[in-house]
Amino acid sequence: MDYNGLINYLEEEKYYIPYNSYYHAFIYKEESFKKMLKEGIKAPIYFRQDNIGFNGNFYVSLSKHIISEADIYKLMINNPAFIISSKLKTIKAKYQHYYPEFIRKSILPLRGSVYDNEFQRLLKVNPKHFMGIRYNLGEVLYNTTNPEEIIYILWKIVNDLNNLDSNLPIIDLSTQKEINKEKVLSLKKDYLK
């Protein structure tokens, strides 16, 4: 398959993602993605779940593109991610190797993380703060054993956005170009699972 040709076909003009934006990476699952689009990104307490991550039960974990040694952004770079306005009020998690569980699970604004570019938002990120979706199409296509699945997930994301009348742009991180959603939906079966 000619992935360069496919990427050139799908992508439009350059898209500037403001440098100070937040990101919330996710693993695509249709129902949870649609719920985030409609209701926002919610802390585990909304689902009556106990979170084992550093954001605890009351906070949503976000990252910024800040190059660092303990980099959560880089760790999640190949996952799709919501691009979130830098105007969102957050708490910068203090970088520390040990983070006591009683603080992690509390609602107190004392936040810590083993990553030095993690930020946390109390309870929820409202969809009005979403600026777009980052999808590292080029990088992931060339470094996967199942490129058809990557294209199919992109197709599903675009389909979900259309079904919910969302006009969020999808930006290919590897080229900094906007992906044309109509072209994605028109892909022939040979590119899809």
Taking only the tens place, the pLDDT of each residue in 184-193 is 999 866 566 5
On the question of pLDDT at 116 being above 70, the answer is yes
Q: What is the mean pLDDT of residues 29-56?
A: 82
Is residue 170 left, alpha or beta, with left meaning phi > 0 and alpha meaning psi from -120 to 50?
beta
What integer pLDDT is reported at residue 54 of this predicted model? 58
Listed ranges 37-51, 71-85, 97-111, 155-169; the one with the highest mean pLDDT: 155-169
What integer pLDDT is reported at residue 34 of this predicted model? 97
Q: pTM for this one?
A: 0.87
- Give the span between the Cα atoms of 30 and 35, in whole angstroms: 9
State the alpha helices, DSSP H only, in the chain.
3-10, 30-39, 72-75, 101-104, 137-142, 147-163, 181-185
Binned at pLDDT 50, 70 and 90, residue 73 comes out as: low
CB 159, CB 111: distance < 8 Å: no
